[in-house]
Amino acid sequence: MLRVDLIAGARPNFIKIASIIRGIESRVSVGSSLSYRLVHTGQHYDARMSGDFFDQLGIPEPDVNLEAGSGTQAEQTAAIMIRYERLLLDDPCALTLVVGDVNSTMACSITARKLGLPVAHVEAGLRSHDWSMPEEINRVVTDAIANWFFTTSRSAGENLERAGIAPARIFFVGNTMIDTLLANQHRFRKPFFWEAHAL
């Protein structure tokens, strides 16, 4: 059985992971050797920052919640790494798939690679070149150690190639947040002022 760990920890991750789950479930048949384990790191843990997103986006309940909680950048990253390492040592996966650029992304990538497990990064190659942003550090570190890179734009792929990543490991797949947006289009409602202002 090839099991992929899908890592989600913060609101943007939940939106991105929703379309990945739909994609897997639409392509994996009964009896398939591919499965996934949804791992919620607990980086965002308030119901409005976590639970509501699962309900509204139709994401299944996480298989595991690491309950890392808040704290400083270092405290949160360390808590995620310690708890994810414990999970992998007890019950390893075949691949860790991370999305975006939050602490959970970097922490789980480092943990998996140090245990010899491959990592795939969805939304790889994005760069702001602003080192005051914690997200930029998370992106660059994750991309430095990942095995496969799934990009949202051609420029992201070019950034990765400039960093020495072989083109065969880069896959332009588009933006999973847009996929989730389109999947929820039936829920769109015009705001009350729409008609009044002839928008």
Tell me the pLDDT band of 26, cut-offs 50, 70 and 90. confident
Task: Considering only residues 177 and 175, tell me which one the structure prediction assigns the higher pLDDT.
Answer: 175
Q: Flag whether the pTM goes above 0.85.
A: yes
pLDDT tens digit sequence for 145-159:
999 999 999 999 999
Both tokens of 42, joined, read 């607990």
CA-based nearest residue to 10, from 94, 105, 132, 91: 105
Strands of 2-8's sheet in order across: 64-65, 34-40, 2-8, 95-99, 119-122, 148-151, 170-172
Cβ neighbours around 50 below 10 Å, total: 21
Whether pLDDT at 50 is above 70: no
**Least-confidence region, from 19-23, 38-42, 48-52:** 48-52
Cβ contact 135:99 at 8 Å? no
Backbone angles phi, psi at 137, to 5 degrees: -65, -45
Cβ contact 28:193 at 8 Å? no
Mean pLDDT of 169-181: 84
Whether pLDDT at 51 is above 60: no
* pLDDT value, residue 6: 97
Tell me the pLDDT band of 31, cut-offs 50, 70 and 90. low
Task: Considering only residues 117 and 59, tell me which one the structure prediction assigns the higher pLDDT.
Answer: 117
* pLDDT value, residue 3: 94
CATH dotted code for 2-186 = 3.40.50.2000
Ranges of each domain in the chain: 2-186
Residues 6+ apart with CB under 8 A from 135: 101, 102, 128
Tell me the pLDDT band of 18, cut-offs 50, 70 and 90. confident
Whether pLDDT at 166 is above 70: yes
